[in-house]
Amino acid sequence: MNITDVSYKVDSIVDDLFISADKDRIEQVFSEHDINDPGEKIQLLRKCMRVIDTSNTGEDLSPADEYEDEVAIFVEGSWRFLI
């Protein structure tokens, strides 16, 4: 897969995420694209929300806990008003 293919794939995933309104649909998008790593999921959610980092707790979270936080922020949806 070349860089253009990767870019199209990422854009496709972000487009699918953008229209996702709940955690089940988000998980379905990641499953359809065979994305299992919490770090990759976090990066894609942040890309969709157009942010670098949404956490400012100052505490270290496990990747799974950080992912759950990102999903909660994503589903809450106020980020949509900023783009």
Per-residue pLDDT for the chain (83 aa), expressed as one digit of tens each? 789 888 899 999 999 999 999 999 999 999 999 999 999 999 999 999 998 776 666 678 888 999 999 999 999 999 888 87
Closest by CA position to 13, among listed 28, 25, 30: 30
Where in the sequence is the domain holding 71, given as residue range(s)?
A: 3-82
Output the CA angle 44-58-48, nearest 5 degrees: 15
Task: Tokens 């995420």: give the residue.
Answer: 17
Q: What pLDDT is recorded for position 54?
A: 65
- Cβ-in-10-Å burial (0-12, 13-18, 19+) of 47 comes to middle
- Please tell me the pTM assigned to this model: 0.88
Which pLDDT belongs to residue 49? 94
Q: What's the distance, Cα to Cα, between the start and end of the chain in Å?
A: 30
The structure tokens listed for 15 are 């487009």
Report the number of distinct structural domains present in the chain.
Answer: 1
Query: Do residues 77 and 23 lie in contact, with contact meaning Cβ atoms separated by under 8 Å?
Result: no
- The reported pLDDT for the residue numbered 9 is 92
